[in-house]
Amino acid sequence: MIIGRQENGKYYVTFFEEQHNHQVVTPRSRHKLPSQRKITIAHATEAEIAKNSGIRQKLIFDFMSERVGGRENLGFTLKDISNHLQSKRMREMREGEAYTLIHYLEKKKSDNPSFFYLLQYDAEGQIANIFWADPKMVIDYALFGDVVCFDTTYRINNVNRPCAPIIGVNHHKETVVFGVALLYDETTASFEWLFTTFLEVMKGKKPLTIFTDQDAAMAKAIARVFPETYHRICSWHLFQNALKHLGHIFKGSNKFGAEFKSCMHDFEYEEDFIHSWNTLLEKHKLQDNKWCLDTFQERRKWAMVYGRHTFSAGIRSTQLCESFNSRMKCYVKPRFNVLEFFTRFEKLLDDVRYQELESNYEMSQLKPALKMNVPILRNARDIYTSKIFDLFQQEYEKSLGIVVKTCIESPPLYEYKVCVYELQREHKVTFDSKSKRIGCCCMSFEFVGYLCSHALKVLDIWNIKLVPSQYMLNRWTKHAREGCVVDYKGRIVIEDPRQVVSNRSKDLSRNAVTVASRAAEYEDASIFFARKMVELSLEVEKFFTKANKNVDDGYFNSMAMNSSQSVDNNDAFTSEQNEISKGVLDACKAKCIKRNLAVASVKGRRKKSFLEKGKKRRKNQAAVARSASPTIPLSRDNIPIIASVSTLEVIILLPYF
């Protein structure tokens, strides 16, 4: 039909064809007609949840189709689902990535005050570096933050921005995340900002050991921010660098790799390590090799002979970071915007943390099998987590094959030399019979946190059938998470406040259902219960009325206080109000998230931070403005007089103002 509009504004039909002048679609194709296609709220919600879970759009559509008996019964097409999800994404990003990011972080902080985030801006107001730590990360670091691994090899999205998680291990030797940063660049300034911010949120607690690769900027930042922390270089990265710089030696000798690894891991005394290293260099004529000389200068960061003295939870490399980055690839895609990245990263964290839930459940239901029914193993099984007990039991098995060669007595001190049966390598174990203190030259307890087979052998000689309490580190026990953790503002950290409310609701619901079920057996009891429920609901509402009144009173009192004071005295606001205001201001002033489109730096040249680049850019712009801008007459109040300048000239001159 054809419709026209009359002069009075009303519409009328000017032509109508009663017969179809086009081919009628078949019943199986009617779902493709625009008039028949509509996504219901239920379907839209289901599709969004599936998309957030990482399911591809085609699989979402196929699942929905199978459930209703075919795509013709669904009421929309795959393109409709794609358009809906795309439009939702565009609506979320309409305000810009910076605004969306800050709004997301502020929402997380309003849900839980212990959530922490900090943004660093460049000279142009762009967001350069981002750091955040949720309450779970704060708790995990307080309990297991003695050893951390740090790595920036993973890049997110198509702008080459490093994702830098700070990772450790819990009492099950499983991965835990202590904090995450999205860095603009990998300069010393960015690393210093990150580590300083990390210390702030973790109440100044510094790790005992930190593992990284051989990055010079990272090492400099660690030396400045964590001077007391033992900086270890990842053994895997070191070996890869050896392959890169000494490839011709590896090809010419099949034993060089094993000898190099022996220098890294095998020695317990410094003089033995140095002798072996010098022998290695002489054997392969590497005394003047620059890489070998530079590597030896950093020997305290990679040689195990120096690392045995500091607790490292048995970690020797940044493999934790490599594994975490590998898992991240399954969750985070290069095409994701910032909000999608955070949503998918949360899913990754949930899955990583769920492993501990499974381990705790198995630990509560099953006990590890005892290979020998002896008191020391039974006691260790009751205290250690399953993973640590298995490692401890292996050490006890080894102790059965150890023989004592000599013993030097100087009561209460005793010095034993022990070795594995039919092996020549000796270990020196000292024991104090008065304090029950024991030490081994392999320093396994200092390095991994539980006694070695050599020490267990000497304890058995002294008929000590239980591990002394001072050699049971709490971080490896089943009760490692007992107690509470306080955040950087002195508040007790609640991992998930919503979980507390949910638990209360479950307890109250259980009691209410029990009483209701009992009252329902008699009519009089039911009427009485219903009347009391109405009275109870009115009493409960009074708590909310009172709470809202207190909030309003506090708000108006703070406003009155500020109105009666001078402009310079704004300290009357509470810290929470200041934080909210800061978040709002950040959302308003942030122009965008800074993009790093620079190519790789020239070898041998120090990387410049974005702050240094910003200063240079401002100087260049000022110089160009001074040299290029024409002389403009000024009025008495130093206001440019441009009344006689043409419109085109004004447009050209405006950027210089």
Report whether pLDDT(408) > 80: yes
Report whether pLDDT(456) > 70: yes
pLDDT score, position 498: 63
pTM, two decimals, is: 0.72
Categorize the per-residue pLDDT at 568 as very low, low, confident or very high, splitting at 50, 70 and 90.
very low
pLDDT, tens digit, 9 for 90 and up, residues 64-105: 777 777 777 777 788 877 777 766 666 555 556 777 888 889
Give me the DSSP letters along 263-305. Answer: HHHT-SSHHHHHHHHHHHHHHTT-TT-HHHHHHHHTHHHH-HH
Categorize the per-residue pLDDT at 653 as very low, low, confident or very high, splitting at 50, 70 and 90.
very low
Q: Within 520-638, where are the H helices?
A: 523-563, 575-589, 610-628
Give me the DSSP letters along 386-406. Answer: HHHHHHHHHHHHHHTTEEEEE
- The mean-pLDDT minimum among 250-254, 463-467, 616-620 falls in 616-620
- The mean-pLDDT minimum among 72-86, 115-129, 165-179 falls in 72-86
- The mean-pLDDT minimum among 10-14, 58-62, 92-96 falls in 92-96
Of 61 and 198, the structure prediction assigns the larger pLDDT to 198
Q: What percent of the chain has pLDDT over 90?
A: 38
Nearest 10 degrees: CA dihedral of 525, 530, 533, 537?
-170
Among 87-91, 173-177, 629-633, top mean pLDDT goes to 173-177
Give the residue among 78, 28, 40, 72 at the shortest CA–CA distance from 57.
78
Alpha carbon distance, N-terminus to C-terminus of the chain: 60
pLDDT score, position 313: 92
- 604 in helix, strand or coil? coil
Of 394 and 593, the structure prediction assigns the larger pLDDT to 394
Categorize the per-residue pLDDT at 399 as very low, low, confident or very high, splitting at 50, 70 and 90.
very high
